[in-house]
Amino acid sequence: DIIFEEGSQADRFYIVADGAVEVWKDYKLPEKDLLAVHEHGHLFGEMALIDELPRSATVLVKEPTRLFYIGRDDFHTIIRDNSKIAISILKSVSDMVRKSNDYFVDNLRERARELEKTNQALREAQEELLLKDRLSTLGKFSSLILHDIRNPLSILRSMAEMIVLNSSERKKVERNAKKIISEADRLNQIASELLDYSRGEIRLNMSIVNLD
C-alpha cells in the first residue's frame, strides 16, 4: 500500500510503530530508485511539513506495518513548543540527508563502473572490427600484391637466363646483373611495404591512376 506519493501535498508526519516502509524516488518510472527503508521508531514525512513543498518521494508499506501520525497544525505546534522534539526531528532529517548522500555516491560509483565496463567492451569491439577490416583489406589486395611480386621475379629469371647465354660478353653480363640487382631491390621494397601494412604502420590507399 502507498502511504503517500511523490509530488503530493503534505498534511501528516509519520512514526513507524511496527513493521517497515520503503522510500522510493521516481517510483512510477522504470528507473525508480529505492532511497531507504524505515523500521520501528523511525520518523518520516517531516521534510514536506517543514519546507512546505510537495512530497519529494513515494513511501509505501514493505510489510504489515502500524503507523502513528500527526497532522500539519499539531506538528507545527509541537515543533514550536517542545525543543527536545524539535531537535529529535532535526536529527532525523540530518540522518535522512546523510543516508541519501551515501546512496547517491554509491549509486554514482556503481554507474561509473558500469559505464567503464561498457566503454571497455566498446573498445574491444572496435579493435576487433579494425583487425577484421585490415584482414579483409589485405585479402582484397592479395592478388595485386602477388602480381607485383611475380613481375620482378619474372624479370630476375629472364636476366639470369641472359647472363647464362651471354657469359662470354662482359658488358651484357654487367648490364643484366645491374637489372637483377634493381629488380631484387624492388621486390624487397614490396615485401617491406607488405610487412609494414601487416603491422598496421601503413594503410593501403586505392586510387585511380591514368597510365596514358
Short-list 24, 19, 31, 21, CA closest to 7 = 24
Contact between 36 and 99 (Cβ < 8 Å): yes
Q: What is the pLDDT of residue 150?
A: 66
What 3-state class would DSSP assign to 102?
A: helix
d(CA 36, CA 93) in angstroms, rounded, equals 13
Instruction: Enter the CATH code of domain 2-111.
Output: 2.60.120.10
Whether residue 203 has pLDDT greater than 60: no
d(CA 52, CA 125) in angstroms, rounded, equals 52
Q: What is the pLDDT of residue 142?
A: 62
**Which has more confidence, 205 or 13?**
13
- If you search the block for the grid coordinates 512514526, which residue do you land on? 15
Kindly report the number of other CB atoms within 10 A of residue 161's CB atom: 11
141-212 topology per CATH: Helix Hairpins (1.10.287)
**pLDDT confidence band for 110 (50 / 70 / 90):** confident
Per the prediction, the chain carries an average pLDDT of 79
Q: How does pLDDT run across 36-93, given as a tens digit for each residue?
A: 888 998 888 888 888 888 998 999 999 999 999 989 888 888 888 888 877 877 777 7
Whether residue 115 has pLDDT greater than 80: yes
Question: Is the pTM of the predicted complex or chain greater than 0.75?
Answer: no
Q: What is the pLDDT of residue 131?
A: 76
Domain positions in the chain are: 2-111, 141-212
